[in-house]
Amino acid sequence: MRDEDQDKELFNELSHDGYVGRVLHSIEHGKEKGVVAFFCPGCRCCHLVWTDPERGRPRWGFNGDFDKPTFTPSILVNPQHKMGEPVRGNYHRCHSFVEGGNIRFLNDCTHELAGKTVELEPF
Ligand SMILES: [Zn+2]
């Protein structure tokens, strides 16, 4: 596991100016730095990941590679519980590990790629 200082060093070396990689885009998100987006082939939409080491939670470790990104820990979109309360009705859940440019979907996803690993798509 990488320590916080290494995270900060790597983060400061990255371009934060709308950089576009093969499968990852650095995006403007208000005043926040280090927000990146990738296209999720399970949800057919983009997910955002916050990588600024100065940020509070949630925040992810990032290997700095815009072509073959790795984030730690897993990325959970629309969890079944919000603030400890179950979400009623239909919900969509996407839970994945992004590792070396691949996205590994866990079995608790509600979309058809649950349990599968696929390459991230350029966008
Ligand atoms: Zn997704």
Residue 101 CA to ligand 1 center (angstroms) comes to: 15
Distance 41 CA to ligand 1 centre (A): 7
Query: Which tokens belong to 33?
Result: 């730095």
Q: What is the mean pLDDT of residues 103-112?
A: 96
How confident is the model over 26-63, as pLDDT tens digits?
Answer: 988 788 889 999 999 999 999 999 999 888 888 999 99
Q: Distance, CA 45 to ligand 1 centroid (Å)?
A: 7
Alpha carbons 109 and 107: distance in angstroms, whole number: 6
Distance 56 CA to ligand 1 centre (A): 23
Per the structure block, which two tokens stand in for 90?
Answer: 């239909």
How far apart are alpha carbons 96 and 104 in whole angstroms? Answer: 5
Give the contacts of 6 (CB within 8 A, at least 6 positions apart). none
- pLDDT of amino acid 16: 67
- pLDDT class for 14, splitting at 50, 70, 90? confident
pLDDT per residue as tens digits for the range 67-91: 999 999 999 998 766 666 766 666 7
| Token pair belonging to 37 | 């987006």
CA of 46 to the centre of ligand 1 (A): 7
CA of 39 to the centre of ligand 1 (A): 8
